[in-house]
Structure 1
Amino acid sequence: MVVGCEDAMKQLRALIHEVEEPLRTTFQHVHQGHVNETLVRFLKARDWDPFKAHKMLVDCLNWRVQNEIDNILSKPIVPADLYRAVRDSQLVGLSGYSSEGLPVFAIGVGLSTFDKASVHYYVQSHIQINEYRDRVILPSASKPDRPVTTCIKVLDMTGLKLSALNHIKMLTIISSIDDLNYPEKTKTYYIVNAPYIFSACWKVVKPLLQERTRRKVQVLPGCGRDELLNIMDYSSLPHFCKREGSGSSRHSESGSENCYSLDHPFHQKLYNYIKQQARLREPVEPIKQGSFHVDFPEPPDEEVEIANSIGSELHKFENGNGV
């Protein structure tokens, strides 16, 4: 770490030391014992400006307190059929671990429809996966001399169509939540099964991204199997990367192999964990149905510009095809 970065760390550490309850308690849920790594994440997100990083972190802590994020892992989406519908339309899962020990999350960007529940359920589900990752998955992957604080994401673009225009608002909400409250949690984004429509949008979006974000994105040929095998075992590949040229499908593998499915071990453990936490908090009260509402942050200007650019590009395709 260069001298300027060390000075920024000292300043931010001193500033955050001044926070009081309840922000101090929720900060413990954020750093999970890795304070320096957490401060570095927020500093990176604000180009190593300690005062901007401090504001970002305090805003994050206030958001967590105001929306009771510390309790979200005790708020299951019930009944199970509703949660299965969410999982079938918001495709995300943990497929395994890289050779470095980083969790590998698969995301079905092209085939996610977000049409089986209200936006609040999808936001609740997304934040729960984030919190389970940060509070359970990453600590269990860490060692005393090697903390694991980031993950890898493999984004499957199979099925990406003009209908993606309908999902831009939903994706912008989720992206804004991550950028503002879970910054720098992803080491690398691998894009696979990219159709032409993605390539066209990527040309427009890439120049709008900050340099640190552009460096994280790698667009791989085809399903990316051969390239991903350089950083993980075959068993950790997402199911849609295991068969060259086969693409992805919600139903291409059995539930235990398809990491999107509620029947996959990751989602079974996650859902059982949340139900267990709910029983610990309210042992005599029945679990109530209803979404856990979270305030949606205003998307950063960069997010808005990217969303507008993607929308504009998709409209060009729409008009060009006479749809």
Structure 2
Amino acid sequence: MGQEAINQFKALMDQVDEPLRRTFQNVHQGYIVETLERFLKARDWNVPRAYKMLIDSLHWRLENGIDDILSKPIVPTNFYRGVRDSQLIGVSGYTREGLPVFAIGVGLSTFDKASVNYYVQSHIQINEYRDRVILPAATKKNGRYIGKCVKVLDMSGLKLSALNQLKLLTAISTIDDLNYPEKTITYYIVNVPYIFSACWKVVKPLLQERTKLKVQVLQGCGRDELLKIMDYSALPHFCRREGPGSSRRSDNATEDCFSLDHPFHKELYSYIKKQSGILEPTRPMKHGSVHVGVPADPKKAEFCRTLETEWRKFQNQDEHIRLHDIVISD
């Protein structure tokens, strides 16, 4: 069944003409079958639906200049540092199987230093750098195809005010779901506060079984569980210590993978600036964000409406508790 679906899908893609064929090459990076498998899995191995998903994604790439997005740095550097300090993401190392470990500071990201467009641009650039540079390098180093990563999501500091960021997070999530499917093998969630635990009970039943199997909510900072698949040196800084202050940004730039001074971000930014010089060697770098259209996903919209409803319930409960405390203290 699987091989037959792949053969059918490949036959359809062989008929695709330029410029879709060229942008498809940037997606598969020489691993056509593995790429087709990702889109098939995302559509439950339904070939027509997977084909439509991939074609829609290729059109999205063309319409939004995604193939060239790694040549469009966010400048000046100080402004980009603000983006990095408020959109916490980085690579802390690799698992013992060679998969890159992406660390994401969900709870402490504020997204308040730039417009939405810059954050979307930054996120897509990291996706493209992962797919065109990090994963091919990991494949070469390990002598076998590596096309996925693991993500460790730090929920430290998660507040009810995070509801204000839901629109942006939904846009980013929708872009990932529709254009970068099946790139993450496991999501490890750590440093979980009560508010997340309560919402997770509501959200989990709404997820597809395939997605639920990828999510693992770990106790505390998750260090002991994560050390089963990676060395200590690959742990995100927020997984290295338990207790108060465990999520504090590390003073050591080589440990804090969120920092622009971390090797990952220094290499990424250097790569983007170099690509910019190759593409437009005689033109100065332009200020301003890249505007990327966000594809519509009705299922994602419904999911987020449910999440927002539950989030507001906890917000109302929290306000009621605080009002009760004031009355008691009077």
Q: Which TM class, normalised by the smaller chain length?
A: over 0.9
Asked if the contact 2:170–2:300 (Cα under 8 Å) also holds between the matched residues in 1, the reply is: yes
CA distance in 2 between counterparts of 1:220 and 1:245 reads 15
CA distance in 2 between counterparts of 1:262 and 1:252 reads 13
- 2:148 maps to 150
- 2:131 maps to 134
CA distance in 2 between counterparts of 1:252 and 1:277 reads 30
Letter in 2 for 1:168: L
- 1:90 maps to 87
Shift of 1:145: 4.8
CA distance in 2 between counterparts of 1:7 and 1:76 reads 42
Asked if the contact 1:223–1:247 (Cα under 8 Å) also holds between the matched residues in 2, the reply is: no
Cα deviation digits, residues 36-66 of structure 1 (max 9, x gap): 1000000000000011000000000000011
Asked if the contact 1:240–1:246 (Cα under 8 Å) also holds between the matched residues in 2, the reply is: no
Cα deviation digits, residues 156-211 of structure 1 (max 9, x gap): 00000101100111100000000000000000000000101001111111111111
Asked if the contact 2:107–2:154 (Cα under 8 Å) also holds between the matched residues in 1, the reply is: yes
Range with greater deviation from structure 2 (129-138 or 242-251) = 242-251
Runs of 4+ in 1 over 6 A off after TM superposition: none
CA distance in 2 between counterparts of 1:321 and 1:94 reads 35
Shift of 1:11: 0.7
Letter in 2 for 1:307: C
Letter in 2 for 1:151: C
SS of the aligned residue for 1:187 comes to strand
Cα deviation digits, residues 94-127 of structure 1 (max 9, x gap): 0000011000000000011111100000000000
- 2:240 maps to 242
Cα deviation digits, residues 117-141 of structure 1 (max 9, x gap): 0000000000000000000000000
Asked if the contact 1:194–1:222 (Cα under 8 Å) also holds between the matched residues in 2, the reply is: yes
SS of the aligned residue for 1:321 comes to helix
SS of the aligned residue for 1:96 comes to strand
CA distance in 2 between counterparts of 1:64 and 1:36 reads 20
Asked if the contact 1:94–1:106 (Cα under 8 Å) also holds between the matched residues in 2, the reply is: yes
Shift of 1:301: 2.6
Question: Taking every aligned residue pair, what percent have the same amino acid on both sides?
Answer: 67
Letter in 2 for 1:291: S
2:48 to 43, 48, 51: 51
Q: Map of 1:61-100 to 2, 5 A cutoff?
A: 61-100=58-97
2:210 to 176, 201, 212: 212
2:184 to 183, 186, 192: 186
2:310 to 292, 310, 313: 313
CA distance in 1 between counterparts of 2:26 and 2:244 reads 40
Q: 1:115 to 1:248 in 2, by over 3 A?
A: farther
Shift of 1:318: 1.4
Shift of 1:254: 2.2
- 1:118 maps to 115
CA distance in 1 between counterparts of 2:315 and 2:112 reads 21
Asked if the contact 1:200–1:313 (Cα under 8 Å) also holds between the matched residues in 2, the reply is: no
Consecutive unaligned residues of structure 2, counting only runs of 5 or more, are 321-330
Shift of 1:7: 1.2
Letter in 1 for 2:249: H
- 1:253 maps to 251
Shift of 1:294: 0.7
Asked if the contact 2:203–2:307 (Cα under 8 Å) also holds between the matched residues in 1, the reply is: yes
Shift of 1:251: 2.9
CA distance in 2 between counterparts of 1:249 and 1:105 reads 16
Letter in 2 for 1:17: D
Letter in 1 for 2:139: S
SS of the aligned residue for 1:175 comes to helix
1:109 to 101, 106, 110: 106
Letter in 1 for 2:311: L
Q: Map of 1:253-292 to 2, 5 A cutoff?
A: 253-292=251-290
Shift of 1:248: 4.8
Letter in 2 for 1:107: I
SS of the aligned residue for 2:319 comes to coil
CA distance in 1 between counterparts of 2:21 and 2:277 reads 26
- 2:4 maps to 7
Asked if the contact 2:74–2:288 (Cα under 8 Å) also holds between the matched residues in 1, the reply is: yes
Shift of 1:247: 5.1
Q: CA RMSD in A?
A: 1.2
The answer on 1:224 being equivalent to 2:222 is yes
Letter in 2 for 1:42: F
1:36 to 19, 33, 57: 33
CA distance in 2 between counterparts of 1:84 and 1:246 reads 27
Letter in 2 for 1:159: G
